[in-house]
Structure 1
Amino acid sequence: MKHIRNMSITKKMILICLNICLIPLIVGFFVIFKIYVARLNEHTMEFAQAFNAQITANLNHVIQDYEGISKSVLVDNELFFYSEKTQRSVTELVRDNESIQRVLFRITTLQPKVKTVSILMHNGDFIHTGSKGLKINQTAFYEKPWVKGLDQSTENFYVVPAHKADYWNSRTNELVITFVRKIMSSGMKYRGALMIDIDPASVIVLSEEYENAKQKYDIEIRIEDSAGNILYDTRLMDDPTQWQDESMTAPAFGDDYIALEQQSETLGLTVYTAIPKESLNLEEKYVRLMTILVVLLCGVIVVLIVVPISSALTSRLVKVSYGMRQMKNGKYITLPNYESSDELGMLVSSYNYMVHEMEQLIEKVYVAELVKKDSEIAALQNQINPHMLFNTLEVIRMKSLCNGDPVVSKMIFLLAKMFRTMLDSSKKNHRIRDELIYAEEFMRLQNLQSTDQFCFTYDIDALLLDILCIPVLFQPLLENCIEHGRRDKSERLNIKITGKAEGEIAIFQVCDDGRGMDEESLALTRRRLEKARQITDPLLHSEIGGSQNIGLINILRRLRLADERCSDLDILYSNSSGTCIEFRMRIRMCLDEGL
């Protein structure tokens, strides 16, 4: 903040203009960016749901196809008749095998995605065929755990999770899934099973649009059965060497993916679609980058516009500032007037007028100082020698003592002390403490004249006793209380001075319990005080109210001459219960605490 305060007006204006222009711009682009990202996320979720729905629909279609194929084979008369036979001749066996072989061959022909089709009967007969000359090694095939448990399954049609086709004659590591249809006799006894091996990827059928999106966003697809075993997994299909067995499961997708799932209509399969957030964030990063570039470009344009305009507007202010600095060094220079009526033109005109007025005021002050010095010399020449005055009063006091009049002697003694205090008040460090001493002497003198009819007390914060003040501050107010507050000479009058500090301001109150003023006199006095505040020329103070309220006006005038900004005097109240005068002044400590 200090660095900003010390900046030139041109730089401050440029900074303000940039803030006014760029902050709304940045906020606007930020809001637009956030709205775009929110819409992008909504679109992404809609796309992911549609993508997942298409995969699930295609999976349902594939399942229905192979379920229909297996049923058509099962209800084939020759195969059904073959499954019911218990004893066959060699001729019948050959003929039946050839018939079934034709059925299986027809399946591989009609469904190019089928790798192998096989039938395993309960009596151990095994018939199979495969596309592209694939053959099954029966020994390796029988070792498969899922083959050993064919007769134990409770489902008539089901799918075996992905597993290695290492029972083919090629001993390949290729992964396949197997659709199994149990063959039951008319008495619902297990007679065998029809098994169809297909590539797991063949169950994922996507349109060209979705296939392109899958490649672009690196979408991962996983299909699991109800036990969590994997039928298809994008990552594992790309690297079959990671595959362990047909009961292999995969970990759940983490927070780095947007994952959706949906159930198939049959077989209890679950389709998972996972889109990496990082691939989606690429577009968001691109938009963010473009937003930043646009903001920077707009910022450069704003700077190119703001800097020349600000420099042109502040050039006259800079010249006024230069003139003020020269004025501080005592050089009063005028600036060339601008032919414009805007605020800056008025400022230059006002500055030139101020320079002219100050030159005249300096000349007036110089003349006034000469007059003041002449007046002081004349006053000093007419001043009574204080030592002669004190010596004379002391002679009178001793004379009264010799004549047996101690009261007069006491009065003369107090009067001499008051004169001494008044004469000493010309020194710079005149304090509230000195004023209280002067006030006490004045009240003692009044009590000697009026036989103790006045009770004078004061309650002032100790901090205020040593602050500087103008001379003869309390005495005129005390005299006011005595002159205008007494109801009659027989009644005792109580007068109290209080003082407290509020921040850097000292507040004093002089209150009595006398008769007070009527409303008309109080309003008139307050109007005179307000008029005294407004008149700054000392020569015009005689026009305020003549000799009326001269004590209050005199104190107000001297307080405001000492410090016009912080000093004031007012009547808090004046009624039948008494009068209270309050005045304020700045707290200023003594220059030399030893005095």
Structure 2
Amino acid sequence: MAGYLLACLLPLLCVSAIIFHQSAASLENSSQEFAALYTSQIKTSLNDFVKEYDKVTKSVLVDNKLIYSLGDKQSLSMNELVNQSVAVQSMLMRVTLLKSEISTVMLVSRDDSVYQYTTATSRVNREALLSQEWYKQLRNSAEPFFITGLHDRSYYEDKGSGAVVTVGRVLYSSGGAYAGLLLIDLDPFALLQLDHEFVLARDKYGMSVIISNRQGEIVYHSGAASGQLSWKQVLEPGFEDFKNNGVEDRIILSGSTDHGNLLIKTEIPRAKLLQKINQIKGMTVIVILLSSLILTLISFGLSFTITRPIKALRRSMKQAEAGQYVPIEKEQAGDEIGSLVHSYNNMILTIRSLIKDVYIAEIKQRQAKFIALQNQINPHMLYNTLESIRMRALVNDDEEAADMIAILASMFRLALGKEGSHHSVKHELEYTANYLQLQNIRFDNMFQLNIRVPEEMLNCHIIPLVIQPIVENSINHGFLDYSRQMHIDIEGVWTEEWDILIRITDDGSGMSLHKQAQLLTSLENAQSDKYKLGEIDEPGSQGLGLKNIAERIKLQYGDRYYLTIRSGVDRGTMVEILIPKIQGDVGCENRNEVLWDEIDLGG
């Protein structure tokens, strides 16, 4: 699923990134072209402005003698001074009429006399004008025509708010001597009129146009002209540095008028320029996330459709490994995986059928083996017993022979009258006790049997011929000689899980470590051999072997239950049998109080 998502999302991410960068570059180029074109138009307009005002200021040079004579007041009579003042006013009025945007024209003579003509209501204060820093710098100007930076109107009598730009010329006499200054105060709007296209572009991209003079003073600022900034903000010291720090990344286009009087700078904030493309970027991210979610859901659906039958197949295989051959019952699709599951189900059913046939055949074989052993009941032992009865009857001619025959009859009845379905622990112990009574008759009371089993355990079910063959093995392999009596103990206890644990212990000769290891290995193989088909072993002198009993316990009760041995090297052997509690018709249900039924069978 991860590979599927990667294959789907990587091309989408790459294409989106390429489209975004190409769109951003295209928009930036288009904006630069627009700004360059607009800067060119501004340059043309400012060139016209400089040329026109250069002519306007030169127009006063026609009256050069009048201007130069303004500094000789002491040599003129009162009448001449009046005529001179009228001539100056007439000249200034003529200049004012040349351009409609001119409202105030001032002429400062070489003796700092100020002559002015204004169409406004407020007049210029001479002392305030002469104290202005920008005015002091003009006295030392090397260029005859000049345009000052923005300055306030504090030298007007009304000291009104706002800013003005002063355009003027340094006046010289025909001999080249300084004659005075011509000053024309203009509203900054007069320099550049904002057209509708610029307003739209400015609002869309945050464009600004800044015009400055050669001294680096701001002459015009589109932000102040449009009302976004106040002229007071533009006039504050450090405004340019603050503006530069406030905009981290900008596109800047520069230009200048033909004679270099004015510098033009058009700025476009890159973040504002890319605002639209960033919106596209945001939409692209949203589309990518939604696409990822949809692709993930589709991937989960496809993965679940593919892996669900595979997981079911894997679970069924693990069950088959554990011996549970269960087919997959869910309806499968008609694809290749469904066909595979269908074939697997057929295989499981076939295996289960074959195992069932083999298992039944094995059970039948072991049942036949058990019935054959029941019917045989160790002929060697039976012959010896009958011979002992015959000899005893010949020698003693008493009732003991009748007792032996009665015991033997009881054994036949217990062994041949039960098939296992109703065989109890009590029956098994009775059969074992009868067998040992016969052996005591044969061996002159050399065996002592002690049985300690809770009374409530006696009626619990047990498969037949389990305890007696173990006791028989104890006698056949553990009995030493007639010098010492052999003791056999049978003890039954409840485990923590309330299963039945039976211990058969003797104090016979025991067995070697090698023999013990071989026997334990044989008993451990009982679990794997319980389903194997094999030849029916002929019963030997040991009767039912321990392995045969262990296999029967595994077959009857399951792999949790067992038969094992714990033998000493020189003396004694213990056999443990663990079987489940299976209640009989009565008893075997009260396990809280333990009552011992002790049977002491010996000489």
Q: What range describes the TM-score normalised by the shorter chain of this pair?
A: 0.5 to 0.7
Residue by residue, what CA displacement relative to the aligned partner does 1:207-257 show, whole Å, maximum 9, x if unpaired?
Answer: 321122223333343333333333234567766674697987731713524
Structure 1 pair 119/368, CA: closer, same or farther in 2 (3 Å)? Answer: farther
SS across alignment from 1:129 = strand
**Mapping for residues 336-415 of structure 1, pairs under 5 Å:** 340=334, 342-359=335-352, 362=355
SS across alignment from 1:39 = helix
**Mapping for residues 221-370 of structure 1, pairs under 5 Å:** 221-233=209-221, 242=232, 250-251=240-241, 253-254=244-245, 256-265=248-257, 266-299=259-292, 302=295, 316-317=309-310, 319-321=312-314, 323-324=316-317, 326-327=319-320, 328=322, 330-333=324-327, 335=329, 340=334, 342-359=335-352, 362=355
CA shift for structure 1 position 194: 0.9
Structure 1 pair 245/286, CA: closer, same or farther in 2 (3 Å)? Answer: closer
CA shift for structure 1 position 102: 3.3
Tell me if the contact between 2:255 and 2:265 (Cα under 8 Å) persists in the aligned partners.
no
Residue 32 of structure 1 pairs with residue 24 of structure 2: no
* Paired residue type of 2:191: V
Tell me if the contact between 2:148 and 2:217 (Cα under 8 Å) persists in the aligned partners.
no
CA distance in 2, matches of 1:106, 1:352: 114
Corresponding residue for residue 128 of structure 1: 116
Tell me if the contact between 1:261 and 1:272 (Cα under 8 Å) persists in the aligned partners.
yes
Residue by residue, what CA displacement relative to the aligned partner does 1:526-568 show, whole Å, maximum 9, x if unpaired?
Answer: xxxxxxxxxxxxxxxxxxxxxxxxxxxxxxxxxxxxxxxxxxx
Q: Structure 1 unaligned runs (5+)? A: 1-12, 374-419, 429-595
Residue 63 of structure 1 pairs with residue 53 of structure 2: no
Residue 139 of structure 1 pairs with residue 127 of structure 2: yes
CA distance in 2, matches of 1:82, 1:339: 110
CA distance in 2, matches of 1:149, 1:336: 100
Residue by residue, what CA displacement relative to the aligned partner does 1:142-178 show, whole Å, maximum 9, x if unpaired?
Answer: 2223334544322211122221111223211321121
CA shift for structure 1 position 191: 0.8
Residue by residue, what CA displacement relative to the aligned partner does 1:49-107 show, whole Å, maximum 9, x if unpaired?
Answer: 44444444433332222122112332x3x355543685555444434433443343243
CA shift for structure 1 position 198: 1.0
Residue by residue, what CA displacement relative to the aligned partner does 1:424-446 show, whole Å, maximum 9, x if unpaired?
Answer: 99998xxxxxxxxxxxxxxxxxx
CA distance in 2, matches of 1:110, 1:310: 86
56-65 vs 363-372, greater mean Cα deviation: 363-372
Residue 104 of structure 1 pairs with residue 92 of structure 2: yes
SS across alignment from 1:181 = strand
CA shift for structure 1 position 185: 1.0
CA distance in 2, matches of 1:84, 1:251: 46
Tell me if the contact between 1:224 and 1:232 (Cα under 8 Å) persists in the aligned partners.
yes
CA distance in 2, matches of 1:334, 1:117: 106
Tell me if the contact between 1:161 and 1:246 (Cα under 8 Å) persists in the aligned partners.
no
* Paired residue type of 2:267: A
Tell me if the contact between 1:335 and 1:348 (Cα under 8 Å) persists in the aligned partners.
no
CA distance in 2, matches of 1:34, 1:240: 37
SS across alignment from 2:148 = strand
CA shift for structure 1 position 367: 9.5
* Paired residue type of 1:83: Y
CA distance in 2, matches of 1:325, 1:53: 83
CA distance in 1, matches of 2:305, 2:78: 114
SS across alignment from 2:27 = helix
CA shift for structure 1 position 351: 1.3
Corresponding residue for residue 30 of structure 2: 43
CA distance in 2, matches of 1:323, 1:286: 54
Structure 1 pair 246/31, CA: closer, same or farther in 2 (3 Å)? Answer: closer
Corresponding residue for residue 601 of structure 2: none
212-221 vs 188-197, greater mean Cα deviation: 212-221
SS across alignment from 2:157 = coil
51-60 vs 174-183, greater mean Cα deviation: 51-60
Residue by residue, what CA displacement relative to the aligned partner does 1:466-521 show, whole Å, maximum 9, x if unpaired?
Answer: xxxxxxxxxxxxxxxxxxxxxxxxxxxxxxxxxxxxxxxxxxxxxxxxxxxxxxxx
CA distance in 2, matches of 1:167, 1:204: 25
**Mapping for residues 419-438 of structure 1, pairs under 5 Å:** none
**Mapping for residues 533-552 of structure 1, pairs under 5 Å:** none
CA shift for structure 1 position 189: 0.8
Residue by residue, what CA displacement relative to the aligned partner does 1:341-384 show, whole Å, maximum 9, x if unpaired?
Answer: x32233123312431453366469869999999xxxxxxxxxxx
* Paired residue type of 2:68: S
Residue by residue, what CA displacement relative to the aligned partner does 1:258-284 show, whole Å, maximum 9, x if unpaired?
Answer: 042524233454333333344334323
CA shift for structure 1 position 290: 1.7
SS across alignment from 1:152 = coil
CA distance in 2, matches of 1:304, 1:148: 78
CA distance in 2, matches of 1:201, 1:336: 86
SS across alignment from 2:216 = coil
Structure number, greater radius of gyration: 2
Tell me if the contact between 1:200 and 1:232 (Cα under 8 Å) persists in the aligned partners.
yes
Structure 1 pair 93/324, CA: closer, same or farther in 2 (3 Å)? Answer: same
Corresponding residue for residue 510 of structure 1: none
SS across alignment from 1:168 = coil
Count of matched residue positions in the alignment of Structure 1 and Structure 2 = 393
CA distance in 1, matches of 2:365, 2:173: 140
Structure 1 pair 258/54, CA: closer, same or farther in 2 (3 Å)? Answer: farther
Q: Structure 2 unaligned runs (5+)? A: 367-512, 522-603
CA distance in 1, matches of 2:58, 2:237: 27
Tell me if the contact between 1:259 and 1:274 (Cα under 8 Å) persists in the aligned partners.
yes
The normalised TM-score by structure 2 is 0.52
41-50 vs 200-209, greater mean Cα deviation: 41-50
Tell me if the contact between 1:323 and 1:334 (Cα under 8 Å) persists in the aligned partners.
yes
* Paired residue type of 1:206: L
Structure 1 pair 424/162, CA: closer, same or farther in 2 (3 Å)? Answer: same
